[in-house]
Structure 1
């Protein structure tokens, strides 16, 4: 069996190493990786956009983690008036810990709500 792991770094590499330890041949490749920003355009410059948004789409648990960390460190909360959409159920469940409101995610080609 050969496995291609497409998780972002560094979790993707960690998973490949664990698979190799148990004798499963695996490679790592990801379309994107997460690193701390060195850009002048960062979340602090975009926080007003976050609160003015009607719809917020979350693509990863990492983005939830870093956004929540920023908000918490600056004594801010997740916007309540926006509708939240996530790319999957586990991402929705991760976001729900911070945003105790209705979330939407695709499941079997239809949108599902989490309360």
Structure 2
């Protein structure tokens, strides 16, 4: 049996390499990848929307990483007045390193059926 890893590059490739090195056959097929934008429509054109927002939803650590990289390179900070919501605990903790605010997130509840 082989494991198919669909995690985005380059972390998906790194996971496959580690699995193969430990004797677990696996291969990588990414449905999408994250890279810094080279688009003519960039974050610099959207930065005002970031500061005018009331709510920011974070879907991945990579989105936090690249946004923080842009903000840092342009001597900007994450807006403090907004409410942040993160999808996933690891994304929430990753975001907390940069925004320095208390985080609230949902814990997955185990669903128990009673017969």
State if a TM-score over 0.5 links the two structures.
yes
CA–CA distance in 2 between the matches of 1:4 and 1:83? 36
User: What RMSD, in angstroms, separates the aligned Cα atoms of the two structures?
Assistant: 1.5
Question: What are the superposed Cα offsets for residues 60-98 of structure 1, whole Å, 9 maximum, x if unpaired?
Answer: 111111111111111111011111111111111111011
**Matched residue SS, 1:30:** coil
Cα distance 1:104–1:30, how it changes in 2: closer, same or farther (>3 A)? farther
Give unpaired runs (5+ residues) of structure 2: 110-115
CA–CA distance in 1 between the matches of 2:55 and 2:89? 18
**Matched residue SS, 1:107:** coil
Correspondence for 1:36 = 36
CA–CA distance in 2 between the matches of 1:86 and 1:6? 21
Residues 55 and 82, structure 1, Cα contact 8 Å, conserved in 2: yes
CA–CA distance in 2 between the matches of 1:86 and 1:63? 11
Instruction: Give the number of equivalent residue pairs.
Output: 109
The structure whose residues are more often strand, as a share, is: 1
Residues 87 and 106, structure 1, Cα contact 8 Å, conserved in 2: no
CA–CA distance in 1 between the matches of 2:55 and 2:26? 38
CA–CA distance in 1 between the matches of 2:78 and 2:40? 22
Q: TM-score, normalised by structure 1?
A: 0.85
Kindly report structure 1 stretches of 4+ aligned residues shifted beyond 6 Å.
none
User: If you compute each CA radius of gyration, which structure gives the higher value, 1 or 2?
Assistant: 2
